[in-house]
Every structure is written in C-alpha cells, then in structure tokens.
C-alpha cells in the first residue's frame, strides 16, 4: 500500500503549490486565452508629409476640431481651436495613443509652426505676408500618429488673405468674408472638420507665441 501513501503525499504537495496551478496546465491555458487590451483604432499605411502614420478611428467616437482666426492689434492673428471628444495632453504625457487625447499641429501653407497643447495661439504678422494663406490645425495622438476618419486626417483649415489695402478670409468648408479697407489684417474666420501652450513640433515654433 506504499504506492497509495506516495500518491497521497504527491497530492498534498500539489495542494501546497496552489492546487491545479501547481500540477496542471489549466492556469497556463487561461493565461494564453486571455484577451489583451485592444489598441486604439487602426494604423493605416497613409502618412503625413513627415512620415507619421494615420490612426483610423470610428466616426462616432472620433475627435473633432474647428479653427477660428481673428486679427490682432499687433498686425498678427489670434488662432482659437474648438475641440470635441478630445483633450490636450500635458508635455509629460507618455508617447502612446490614448483615445480622444493628444496635441494639435498648427501649420501655415503646409509648414508646421508649432505643437499646441492648449486651444489658443498667436500668429505673428511677419509670418503672414501679403496674399492668401491656409492655416490648418490637425489632431495627433501622443505617439504622433494622426487621428483619422475614413482615411482622412482629423483637421480644420481657415483661409486668410492679408494685404495693406484690404483683407479677406474664408473658412473651409463654411464661410467667405470680405472686410472694408484697413491698414491691418481684418478677418473673422472659422472652420470645422472631423478633421496651447505651444512647443516646437515638426517645425519649431518660430515667430509665433501662445496666448
């Protein structure tokens, strides 16, 4: 009957080691079958001009941004962003994508001016020479992937026209305004799309400053 005593001793050891986790493979199977957290959205092959990939998310939960540009008293322009389902990340945020969080990259005629972590930015007049220019705000996750819906980046663009005699402005997609002749840029611009403390990002924050 010594073999029975040996079996009972072995079972006792298994119990001390944690039951089935010590003697079987059930727990191991459970670990293998556990579902890891799903990533935020889907990384697309499309990239911006800097090579940063788009991150596709569902339209119902996607962040939104609208841009408004107003003339400032110093011949510059004040930029205001309105966002929905989105919050700006602090500078110390980890470089990982979190739903509805990140930064906005502000660009003028396709040239990145600054990375915005709040909704306001001051664009100095020396950066806006005579003529029509495009001011765009695009939303990015903290890993610098661009939030996208339907393969298009989440962004908003306003067109501004600066001139010594008159200034006109229009928003994409919503408005076109013409102002009377003045000696400083004059405009009320807003834009909306599915698509600040300012810090250098892409191209540095040269010439502009956060409000």
Contact 128/187 with Cβ under 8 angstroms? Answer: no
E strands, 57-144, in order: 64-71, 77-84, 87-88, 101-108, 111-116, 120-123, 131-140
Q: Give per-residue pLDDT as tens, 154-171.
A: 999 999 988 754 444 444
Preceding omega of 173 cis (within 30 degrees of 0)? yes
pTM exceeding the 0.75 threshold for the entire prediction = no
First-to-last alpha carbon distance for the chain, in angstroms, is 87
More confident residue, 29 or 87: 87
**Residue percentage of the chain with pLDDT more than 90:** 53
pLDDT at residue 165, as a whole number: 46
Residues 6+ apart with CB under 8 A from 60: none
Q: Which of 71, 20, 44, 61 minimizes the C-alpha distance to 151? A: 44
Q: Quick one: tokens of 210?
A: 């956060």
Decide if pLDDT at 17 tops 70.
Answer: no
Helix (H) or strand (E) holding 144: none
Contact 125/75 with Cβ under 8 angstroms? Answer: yes
């Amino acid at each position: 009957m010594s073999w029975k005593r040996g079996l009972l001793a072995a079972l006792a050891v298994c119990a001390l080691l944690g039951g089935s986790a010590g003697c079987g493979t059930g727990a191991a199977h459970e670990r293998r079958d556990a579902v890891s957290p799903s990533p935020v959205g889907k990384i697309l092959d499309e990239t911006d001009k800097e090579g940063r990939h788009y991150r596709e998310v569902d339209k119902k939960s996607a962040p939104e941004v609208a841009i408004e540009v107003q003339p400032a008293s110093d011949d510059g322009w004040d930029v205001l962003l309105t966002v929905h389902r989105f919050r700006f990340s602090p500078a110390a945020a980890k470089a990982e994508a979190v739903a509805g969080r990140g930064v906005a990259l502000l660009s003028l005629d396709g040239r990145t001016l600054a990375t915005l972590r709040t909704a306001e930015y001051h664009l100095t007049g020396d950066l806006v020479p005579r003529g029509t220019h495009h001011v765009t705000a695009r939303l990015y996750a903290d890993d610098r992937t661009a939030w996208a819906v339907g393969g298009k980046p989440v962004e908003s663009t306003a067109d501004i026209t600066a001139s010594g005699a008159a200034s006109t402005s229009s928003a994409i997609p919503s408005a076109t305004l013409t102002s009377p002749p003045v000696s400083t840029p004059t405009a009320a611009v807003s834009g909306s799309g599915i698509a600040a403390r300012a810090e250098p990002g892409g191209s540095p924050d040269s010439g502009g400053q956060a409000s």
